[in-house]
């Protein structure tokens, strides 16, 4: 009798597993049939470059993990080695993003080395960028700093750090780092190189009061500051 | 059935270890913390299987283990993070980042609950 009951329960678990996976697949296939759109962005067009406006729009996705956990990664390409370590999962490749920044005439700083990441002394240089975020239903663009929660507020100063060689060789996928970085294509000069990890004084998480739920697709807008 | 109880308990320990490791930001930023679960399971199962005397994990032991691990996790990460951290670890481990946290949590509760019932029904003994 017990053996039969155990077998039944095991079957229930297996059925639950299969149903769980199956329902996910159905959801995915429905989503695939109806392509997601957000302004000019879509699942097939994850990055839009506007040379006249000197603007790049990138599709990204909220990672709910960092609504409670702190991180030094703002936006990382989802297939990069750090793809699951950022507040927003970028849907476009970091190398394409770098080339897009060159297209809108941004100048890379290239002033932070990997050795600087051990010192927390240097700030990233390069063209200044104003970064905004929006999503379906929000009806406006909000500054990137608004989607973050920090125990020490410093005005964001996003710079085009460059770092294409490190980005290509390390394949981290880093697009926007929350402190000055030797690998991220862009990073925040308000914090010194790797300061968040080395000094551990400031903790930054996604802001759950502002950001939409885990998995929501958002547009990240990078504008070259005049 | 001894093996089932062993897999069940080592999974709980693997998840506990992964949650503790998750709190180390340096580590969390560098590796997929979820991989700790199968590594811990493999080490412990191998150790138990090569141990000369049979190790019996009874339903009482399993229940106490589950409860003490749950309490430990609760004190380490708190109630708010409890609904996010274990699910995030599992989601990253299986590389299915589009599955929602509530879905993973529900599935985890279902599996742990049913697993416990299976162990209770079978009552692992040395002869099994």
CA A16, B56, B123, B62 dihedral sign is negative
| Phi, psi for residue B124 in degrees, rounded to 5 | -55, 130
Tally the C-alpha atoms within 13 A of residue A125's C-alpha that lie toward its C-beta: 7
- The residue among B116, B1, B16, B69 whose CA lies nearest residue A13 is B116
Task: Quote the DSSP letter at residue A126.
Answer: B
What tokens does A1 get? 């009798």
**A chain contacts of residue B32, beta-carbon cutoff 8 Å:** 84
In three-state secondary structure terms, A14 is helix
Residue boundaries of the structural domains of chain A: 1-34, 37-224
Using the beta-carbon criterion (under 8 Å), do B100 and A214 form an inter-chain contact? yes
**Can you list the alpha helix ranges (DSSP code H) found in chain A?**
2-33, 94-103, 164-170, 195-199
Interface list for A 181-210 with B (CB within 8 A): 197, 200
In three-state secondary structure terms, A104 is coil
pLDDT tens, position by position, B36-53: 999 999 999 898 888 877
Closest approach of A163 to chain B, Cα-based (Å): 19
pLDDT category of residue A27 using cuts at 50, 70 and 90? very low
Residue A18: pLDDT over 80: no
Closest approach of A67 to chain B, Cα-based (Å): 9
CA distances from A196 to A136, A150, A157, A163, B77 (A): 31, 11, 15, 19, 21
Residue boundaries of the structural domains of chain B: 2-122
Would you tell me how many other CB atoms lie within 10 Å of the CB of residue A98? 22
Residue A35: pLDDT over 80: no
DSSP class per residue in A113-150 = -TGGGGT------B-EEEEEEE-TTT-S-EEGGGGEEE
Q: Tell me, what's the pLDDT at A8?
A: 56
pLDDT category of residue A23 using cuts at 50, 70 and 90? very low
* Residues contacting A37, CB < 8 A, separation 6+: none
pLDDT tens, position by position, A68-114: 988 999 999 999 989 889 999 999 999 999 999 999 999 999 998 88
Using the beta-carbon criterion (under 8 Å), do A9 and B118 form an inter-chain contact? yes
Q: Round to whole Å and give the CA distance between A213 and A215.
A: 6
Q: Round to whole Å and give the CA distance between A220 and A209.
A: 18
Average predicted confidence (pLDDT) for chain B: 87
Using the beta-carbon criterion (under 8 Å), do A16 and B115 form an inter-chain contact? no
What tokens does A82 get? 């750090």
ipTM score of the complex? 0.78
- Per the listing, tokens 């002033």 go with A111
Using the beta-carbon criterion (under 8 Å), do A9 and B84 form an inter-chain contact? no
Of A16-30, A57-71, A103-117, the range with the lowest mean pLDDT is: A16-30
CB A179 within 8 A of CB A72: yes
């Amino acid at each position: 009798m017990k053996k039969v009951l155990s077998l039944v329960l095991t079957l229930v678990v297996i059925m639950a597993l299969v149903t769980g996976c199956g329902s996910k697949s159905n959801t995915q296939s429905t989503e695939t049939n109806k392509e997601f759109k957000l302004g000019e962005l879509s699942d097939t067009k994850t990055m839009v470059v506007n040379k006249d406006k000197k603007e790049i729009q990138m599709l990204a996705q909220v990672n709910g993990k960092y609504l409670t956990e702190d991180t030094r990664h703002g936006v990382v390409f989802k297939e990069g080695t750090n793809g699951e370590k950022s507040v927003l999962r970028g849907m476009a490749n970091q190398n394409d993003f770098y080339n897009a920044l060159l297209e809108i005439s941004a100048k890379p700083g290239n002033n932070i080395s990997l050795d600087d990441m051990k010192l927390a002394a240097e700030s990233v240089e390069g063209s200044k960028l104003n970064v905004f975020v929006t999503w379906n239903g929000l009806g406006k663009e909000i500054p990137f700093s608004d989607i973050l929660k920090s125990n020490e507020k410093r005005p964001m100063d996003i710079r085009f750090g460059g770092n294409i060689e490190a980005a290509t060789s390390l394949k981290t996928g880093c697009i926007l780092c929350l402190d000055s970085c030797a690998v991220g294509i862009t990073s925040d000069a308000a914090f010194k190189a790797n300061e968040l990890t080395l000094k551990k004084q400031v903790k930054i998480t996604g802001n759950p009061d502002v950001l939409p739920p885990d998995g929501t697709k958002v547009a990240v807008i990078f504008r070259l500051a005049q | 059935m001894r093996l089932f109880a062993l897999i069940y308990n080592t999974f709980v320990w693997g998840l506990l270890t992964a949650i503790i490791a998750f709190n180390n930001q340096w580590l969390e930023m560098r590796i997929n913390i979820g991989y700790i679960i199968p590594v811990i399971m493999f080490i412990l199962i191998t150790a138990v299987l090569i141990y000369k005397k049979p190790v019996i994990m009874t339903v009482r032991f399993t229940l106490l283990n589950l409860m003490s691990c749950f309490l430990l996790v609760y004190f380490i990460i708190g109630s708010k993070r409890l609904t996010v951290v274990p699910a995030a670890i599992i989601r990253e481990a299986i590389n299915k980042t589009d599955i929602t946290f509530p879905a993973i949590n529900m599935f985890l509760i279902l599996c742990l609950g049913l697993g416990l019932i299976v162990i209770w029904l079978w009552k692992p003994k040395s002869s099994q």
